[in-house]
């Protein structure tokens, strides 16, 4: 029976990239997947839309109300240039700490293309979401940007990127609940088939792609490729449907990442997770396509260290326990 791996996700406190990577290097190693450190304290160019802008070929400028598309093709805004420089520093810092140690994989969370359409602004001051042509351009630029990031990670680290595509708020665009620039109304909704077409268009990457959405769009995301879900609990029609979705994906060799809430006694917890997985699914060999995810939220050094250790113990024990069944 094959085994799941741990995947590190989220954000960390402070501004010291090397300190985060030292903790990851010490507390969690292959086959588990460390994260490219996201440090919101560094500034808006290092997180959210800024982190994504670092990889885009379209010019963006940070305004008081958010990131705005600029006319022309030349990237000249200092914040976008700073974002690209920080991206390169984040990748190089991981290489510095790894030294001669291999890093087979690294995870990186990026806001998805539709989320960028919701949060970004046109030169006219309206949301990108309002303009069909701009939406198509952003989807194309996002795909190119993901390829640029993946290539940079492979060139510097020799690692395969696992890109977690954050589209958790996209249901608001589908249901017409995104406020207009004036705040007096809402932008016109976009059809779910259009959203699916954007997600489909960004899948061809030299990376593992994992879409994270709200529950309303999980089925749509699963039709496209790998997905991120909370671990399904209880016994209900919704839980059964989720496990069927998971089983269908892993049987097809498609990755599924499952968020776990931290609990005491990670070894016993690991056994419970494996037992639940085998109870619900028909594909025990599909475990090799399962990622156990622990997400940090601007975690300090102590929380990060203990969380990484917990994830490693849980995933390692899950692998060992699965092998005995």
Q: Which helix (H) or strand (E) holds 314?
A: helix 301-324
Q: Does residue 20 contact residue 37 with C-beta atoms inside 8 Å?
A: yes
Residue 247 lies in a domain: no
Radius of gyration of the chain (CA): 20
Q: Does residue 97 contact residue 65 with C-beta atoms inside 8 Å?
A: no
SS (H, E, C) 94-126: HHHHHCCCCCCEEEEEEECHHHHHHHCECCCCC
Residue 251 lies in a domain: no
Q: Do 275 and 176 fall into the same domain?
A: no
pLDDT tens track of the chain, all 325 residues?
578 999 999 999 999 999 999 999 999 999 999 999 999 999 999 999 999 999 999 999 999 999 999 998 889 899 999 999 999 999 999 999 999 999 999 999 999 999 999 999 999 999 999 999 999 999 999 999 999 999 999 999 999 999 999 999 999 999 999 999 999 999 999 999 999 999 999 999 999 999 999 999 999 999 999 999 999 988 899 999 999 999 999 999 999 999 999 999 999 999 999 999 999 886 788 999 999 999 999 999 999 999 999 999 999 999 999 988 8
Q: Do 223 and 140 fall into the same domain?
A: yes
Instruction: Provide the 8-state DSSP code for 130.
Output: G
Give the residue numbers spanning the domain of 284: 1-15+24-31+256-325
Number of domains in the chain: 2
Beta-bridged to residue 181, according to DSSP, are none
Length of the chain: 325
Q: Do 143 and 219 fall into the same domain?
A: yes
């Amino acid at each position: 029976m094959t085994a799941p791996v741990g995947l590190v996700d989220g954000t960390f406190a402070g501004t010291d990239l090397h300190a985060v990577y030292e903790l990851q290097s010490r507390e969690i190693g292959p086959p588990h997947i460390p994260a490219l450190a996201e440090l919101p304290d560094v500034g808006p160019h290092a997180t959210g839309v800024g982190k994504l802008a670092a990889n885009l070929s379209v010019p963006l400028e940070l305004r008081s109300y958010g990131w705005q598309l600029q006319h022309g093709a030349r990237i000249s805004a200092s914040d976008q240039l700073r974002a690209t420089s920080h991206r390169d520093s984040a990748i190089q810092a991981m290489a510095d700490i790894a030294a001669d140690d291999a890093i087979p994989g690294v995870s990186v969370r990026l806001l998805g293309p539709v989320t960028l359409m919701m949060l970004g602004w046109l030169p006219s001051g309206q949301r990108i979401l309002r303009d069909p042509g701009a939406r198509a351009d952003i989807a194309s630029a996002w795909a190119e940007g993901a390829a640029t990031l993946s290539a940079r990670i492979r060139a510097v680290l020799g690692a395969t990127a696992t890109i977690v595509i954050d589209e958790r708020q996209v249901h608001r665009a589908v249901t017409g609940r995104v406020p207009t620039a004036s705040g007096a109304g809402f932008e016109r909704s976009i059809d779910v088939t259009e959203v699916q077409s954007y997600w489909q268009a960004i899948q061809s990457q030299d990376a593992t792609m994992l879409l994270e959405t709200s529950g309303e769009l999980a089925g749509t995301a699963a039709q496209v490729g790998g997905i991120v879900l909370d671990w399904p609990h209880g016994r209900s029609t919704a839980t059964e449907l989720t496990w069927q979705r998971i089983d269908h994906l892993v049987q097809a060799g498609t990755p599924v990442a499952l968020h776990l809430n931290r609990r005491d006694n990670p070894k016993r917890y690991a056994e419970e997770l494996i037992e639940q997985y085998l109870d619900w699914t028909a594909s025990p060999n599909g475990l090799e396509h399962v990622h156990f995810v622990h997400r940090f939220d601007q975690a300090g050094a102590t929380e990060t260290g203990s969380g990484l250790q917990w994830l490693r113990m849980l995933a390692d024990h899950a692998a060992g326990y699965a092998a005995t069944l």
